Amino acid sequence: MSLINVSSTRGDYALVNLEQVAWATVDTNEAGGASRITLHMVDGATFLLRDAEAEYALAGLRRDLGESSRDAGLPH
CATH number at residue 45: 2.40.50
Reported as a pLDDT band with limits 50, 70 and 90, residue 68 is low
Least confidently predicted of 9-13, 22-26, 52-56 = 9-13
Taking the C-alpha atoms of residue 8 and residue 1, their distance in angstroms, rounded to an integer, is: 22
* pLDDT digits 0-9 by tens, 40-63: 999 998 888 888 888 888 888 888
In a domain, 36, yes or no: yes
Into how many domains does the chain fold? 1
pLDDT for res 1: 62
In a domain, 14, yes or no: yes
pLDDT for res 67: 58
- First CA to last CA across the chain, in angstroms? 19
In a domain, 76, yes or no: no
For the chain, give the percent of residues with pLDDT over 70: 80
Cα separations in angstroms, 51 against 36, 43, 58, 61, 70: 6, 25, 11, 15, 29
The structure's pTM equals 0.71
Which structural domain range is residue 62 located in?
3-71
Instruction: Note the helical H segments in the chain.
Output: 51-71
In a domain, 47, yes or no: yes
